[in-house]
């Protein structure tokens, strides 16, 4: 019953939102004509654009469901819902631009399409904010609640109950606990009653109104509760399991499906294919533009390198990439030709703790190379590595194989993301950070908190670091 009710609500929300999307199309037309006609000229009659509405309706419908906008948003913060709407509006607007380009519909203003994307985003955000406010008001009056029963009375069960109690606006009503037969009999937990034991569950499900059953028991105990799962399945009661198989792990857990086989996945790296695709797209576009823009400057640098000392223009070296993959990195040569042979003589002057060799005022640097290092221009050829997918614009710096061989076990996790041109280490002092463990912790901090916005923040902060040579030796 509740499931069908949720579907009905989602259907009406969908109709409302499609109406708002179509309305925003007309609003964008009016806005463009009123405020931009004098500068760009008036638009064609509105009837000329109606065929786009027939494209918008199925396209936005697909995007709404593709981005799971009609799944329960009870426990999600509003900014995540806004981010989902932003992805819908951005993707739809880009697709419309592509259609206009493909059909060579030159009379359709690009500004008009952009305004439509922005206004539709604004309309949907306001509508979702109103829906949330209304839902919270209804829940305060006792409507739209789901009754949940927690099986277990241990630490995990108590943590779960605290979260539910502290977030009343989610619309979850904790009616009580079910004690596992291995636990001591107690009467209340966090002011909620213990209603009975697992053996008494069939009777309790008849006695109380239960919408969801959450199991917060040990993984060993789960094996013996198959009958309870089947009972809930027969009665249409939603069942959830509070996953705590390895409580000391830092990995995030999500459920995947492999051709019908459910897989519980533990990962410490980002797993959103969409966001990783956007990251890769950003790498491709920006690296391509930077390579083209840097061509004349690269020719000048190549001439300076060749003039400064005998040897090749480019320095090639094997580095370690994603999950141990090896690839050849490219740089403008900054040292004398036989620099690697002289490295052994300088090991006692290494100012970096750990397996990495870094030396201040390295005598092997050429005058041109010293300047290139200071402004990081020696790394321009690595844009080719980025374009080829071996590196990213932002990510942990790629280490040497011999350095990786000396890593402690926890340090190897920095290889779980594609290496990059710049990273937190780069913008937080670079060569002024002499503690190798501190460097590694910055890389792991990046991996654990990765987001597209963090990448953009690091990328933008790198610009002044490069221009002013901050932290470079």
Using a cut of 0.75, tell me whether the model's pTM lies above it.
no
pLDDT of residue 253: 66
pLDDT band at 74, cuts 50/70/90? low
Counting residues of the chain whose pLDDT is more than 70, the rounded percentage is 81
The dihedral formed by the CA atoms of 215, 221, 226 and 227, expressed in degrees to the nearest 10: -90
The rounded distance, in Å, linking the Cα atoms of 390 and 328 is 9
pLDDT band at 27, cuts 50/70/90? very high
In the chain, where are the structural domains located? 2-140, 146-248, 273-468
String of b and e for 311-320 (b: at least 16 CB within 10 Å)? beeebeeebb
Residue 470: pLDDT over 70: no
Residue 75: pLDDT over 70: no
pLDDT of residue 227: 80
Strand partners, 189: 192
CATH code given to domain 146-248: 3.40.50.720
The rounded distance, in Å, linking the Cα atoms of 140 and 160 is 21
Cα 382 to Cα 132, 202, 312, 340: the distances in Å are 47, 64, 16, 20
Q: Up-side HSE of residue 373: CA atoms within 13 Å toward CB? A: 20
pLDDT of residue 226: 76
The DSSP letter of residue 267 is E
- At 292-339, the pLDDT tens digits run 988 888 999 999 988 888 888 998 999 998 878 899 999 999 888 777
pLDDT of residue 473: 46
The residue-averaged pLDDT of 403-418 equals: 86
């Amino acid at each position: 019953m509740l499931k069908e009710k949720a579907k009905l609500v989602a259907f009406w929300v969908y109709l409302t939102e499609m109406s708002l999307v179509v309305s925003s199309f007309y609003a964008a037309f009016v806005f463009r004509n009123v405020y931009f006609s004098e500068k760009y000229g008036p638009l064609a009659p509105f009837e000329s654009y109606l065929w786009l509405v027939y494209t918008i309706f199925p396209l936005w419908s697909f995007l709404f469901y593709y981005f799971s906008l009609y799944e329960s948003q009870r426990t999600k913060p509003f900014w995540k819902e806004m981010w989902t709407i932003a992805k819908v509006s951005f993707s739809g607007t880009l697709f419309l631009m592509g259609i206009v380009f493909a059909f060579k519909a030159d009379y359709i203003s690009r500004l008009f399409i952009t305004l439509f994307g922005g206004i539709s985003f604004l309309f949907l955000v306001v509508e979702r904010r109103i829906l949330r406010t209304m839902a919270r008001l209804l829940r305060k009056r006792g409507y739209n609640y789901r009754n949940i029963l927690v099986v277990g009375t241990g630490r995990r069960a108590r943590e779960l109950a605290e979260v539910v109690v502290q977030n009343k606006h989610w619309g979850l009503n904790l009616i009580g606990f079910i004690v596992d037969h291995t636990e001591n009999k107690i009467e209340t937990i966090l002011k909620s009653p213990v209603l009975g034991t697992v053996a008494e569950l069939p009777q309790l499900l008849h006695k109380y109104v239960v919408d969801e059953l959450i199991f917060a028991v040990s993984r060993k105990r789960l094996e013996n509760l198959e009958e309870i799962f089947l009972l809930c399945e027969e009665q249409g009661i939603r069942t959830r399991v509070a996953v705590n198989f390895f409580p000391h792990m830092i990995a995030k857990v999500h459920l995947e499906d492999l051709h019908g086989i459910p897989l519980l996945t533990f990962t410490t790296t980002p797993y959103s294919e969409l966001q990783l695709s956007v990251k890769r797209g950003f790498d491709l576009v920006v690296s391509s533009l930077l390579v083209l823009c840097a061509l004349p400057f690269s020719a000048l640098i190549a001439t300076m390198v060749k003039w400064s000392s005998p040897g090749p223009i480019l320095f090639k070296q094997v580095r370690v990439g994603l999950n141990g993959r090896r690839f050849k990195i490219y740089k403008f040569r900054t040292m004398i030709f036989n620099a690697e042979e002289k490295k052994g003589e300088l090991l006692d002057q290494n100012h970096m703790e750990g397996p990495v060799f870094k030396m201040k005022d390295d005598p092997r640097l050429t005058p041109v190379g010293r300047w290139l290092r200071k402004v990081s221009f020696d790394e321009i050829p690595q844009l080719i590595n980025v374009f080829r997918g071996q590196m990213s614009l932002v990510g942990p710096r790629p280490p040497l194989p011999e350095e990786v061989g000396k890593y402690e076990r926890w340090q190897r996790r920095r290889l779980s993301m594609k290496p990059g041109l710049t990273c937190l280490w780069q913008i937080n002092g670079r060569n002024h950070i002499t503690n190798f463990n501190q460097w590694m912790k910055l890389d792991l901090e990046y991996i654990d908190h990765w987001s597209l916005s963090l990448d953009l923040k690091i990328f933008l902060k790198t610009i002044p670091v490069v221009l002013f040579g901050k932290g470079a030796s």
